[in-house]
Amino acid sequence: MELERGTFLSEHDDDTVSGMAIIETDPEIDKYRIAEKWERGPDDEVWNTYWLAESMLQERIDEGSVSVKGQLSDKQLNGILNLAGVSHKVEAA
């Protein structure tokens, strides 16, 4: 899989999505688990998680709907996992 856990992406087609991160990868089924931050108004945000096929994410990147912004630190990724309600954390190296 081309992208790895902790990759942070920016959404360009939906103004309510302020960012997304790859929180898990599954090479056996070629899917990424995404945590996506939705801002519904001032001080009103929700984190959703879902699985997305690698090919679908790559297509969105190729067409410019999503762009890779960088790699999150372990601390940043753990913060997102906590906000998204995901139980498995990243151990610091």
Instruction: Tell me whether strands 44-53 and 66-71 are parallel, antiparallel or unpaired.
Output: unpaired
For 34-57, the pLDDT digits (tens) are 999 988 777 778 899 999 999 999
Q: Structure pTM? A: 0.87
Q: What is the mean pLDDT of residues 20-32?
A: 95
CA angle in degrees (0–180, nearest 5) for 45-47-48? 135
